[in-house]
Amino acid sequence: MKSPFQVLLNVFPRPFLIKASLLLRPMLVLAYRGKAYKDPIDGKTFSKFLPYGYENQRSNVLSPSTLSLERHRLLWLYLQQTDFFTRPQKVLHFAPEQAFYKRFKNLKNLEYTTTDLNSPIADVKADICDLPFDTDSFDTIICNHVLEHIKDDAKAMKELYRVLKPKGMAILQIPQDINRATTFEDDSVVDPKERAKIFGQYDHLRIYGLDFFDKLKSIGFEVKAVDLTADMEDSEIEYYRLQKGEIIPVCFKPA
């Protein structure tokens, strides 16, 4: 039997859910108060996190306060190890996540631009395969869980590379199975429920394997596969509700 969260995810369009979640968060924070788990993005602690997922639901992963998932909390912890929060820079953020949007927008060191085709909170409505920005425009690009939705992901990667400044950094998180050597696609699966079962979400076009890094390198990026959890205690991984072994693809454009 599906949980109420699965029903909402499958029935309502994402822009509506984004707006509705703004009203729900204060109630969720109160209902889930406790000390067992911590969201590092805002520092709040909870008795547990909420479940999340389409067909394949994960328990105890969605933060009641920031609505962050494992990948968001992992990225926040990584950014804290960089100069992202202090160095003046131009940032382009695709499909801005609520967990980050206001926090990044309020940072005085960032010239912050958001873009997406459908998000109600994006500044610029644009196609990732045909971006309306000059070449070498941004010091940092954040594009998380977007490429798996794009038919011609190589073209999107080329556009990301084009608008990134030399020596700039692009963080390109994707759903990835690190046990797969090669990326898996199957266009013959057209039923949304079947696609959700196979790909994790009805609108995902592929499951990336380890060859994702090679594809980025073929575009011109220098790529670091960062496993932040490798240097963390299991108790810390559990406290922040991270996915052990999840890799952050951190890419750089050569000078």
- Whole-angstrom CA distances from 89 to 20, 113, 134, 139, 159 are 32, 11, 16, 6, 19
Clarify whether residues 35 and 84 are in a common domain: no
Go through the chain and tell me how many residues it has.
255
Clarify whether residues 244 and 198 are in a common domain: yes
- Average of pLDDT values for 12-39? 73
Q: 200-211, pLDDT tens digit by residue?
A: 888 899 999 999
Which residue pairs, CB below 8 angstroms and at least 24 apart, start in 186-193?
A: 193/55
- Average of pLDDT values for 191-220? 91
The encoded tokens of residue 223 equal 């790529």
- Asked whether the predicted pLDDT for residue 244 surpasses 50, the reply is yes
- Asked whether the predicted pLDDT for residue 30 surpasses 50, the reply is yes
Clarify whether residues 84 and 187 are in a common domain: yes
Q: Which residue segment(s) compose the domain that 182 sits in?
A: 72-252
- Helices (H), ranges, the chain: 4-11, 14-31, 70-79, 98-105, 153-163, 192-199, 211-219, 234-239
- Average of pLDDT values for 149-178? 97
- Final residue in a domain of this structure, among 17, 45, 68: 68
Clarify whether residues 40 and 77 are in a common domain: no
The owner of tokens 């575009």 is 219
Clarify whether residues 140 and 231 are in a common domain: yes
pLDDT of residue 1: 44
Clarify whether residues 88 and 101 are in a common domain: yes
Clarify whether residues 186 and 139 are in a common domain: yes
> Residue 22's pLDDT band (boundaries 50, 70, 90)?
low
Q: 54-112, pLDDT tens digit by residue?
A: 667 889 999 999 999 999 999 999 999 999 999 999 999 999 998 999 999 999 999 99
CATH of residue 203: 3.40.50.150
Clarify whether residues 200 and 125 are in a common domain: yes
Identify the residue with better confidence: 29 or 155.
Answer: 155
Q: 38-49, pLDDT tens digit by residue?
A: 999 999 999 999
Q: 109-138, pLDDT tens digit by residue?
A: 999 999 999 888 899 999 999 999 999 999
Lowest mean pLDDT among 22-36, 129-143, 171-185: 22-36
Clarify whether residues 42 and 77 are in a common domain: no
The owner of tokens 């039923």 is 191
- Asked whether the predicted pLDDT for residue 14 surpasses 50, the reply is no
Going by the DSSP 8-state scheme, the letter that residue 247 receives in this structure is P
Clarify whether residues 115 and 210 are in a common domain: yes
> What's the total number of domains in the chain?
2
| Neighbour-count burial of 202, counting CB atoms closer than 10 A to its CB (0-12 exposed, 13-18 middle, 19+ buried) | middle
- Whole-angstrom CA distances from 225 to 110, 213, 222 are 25, 8, 10
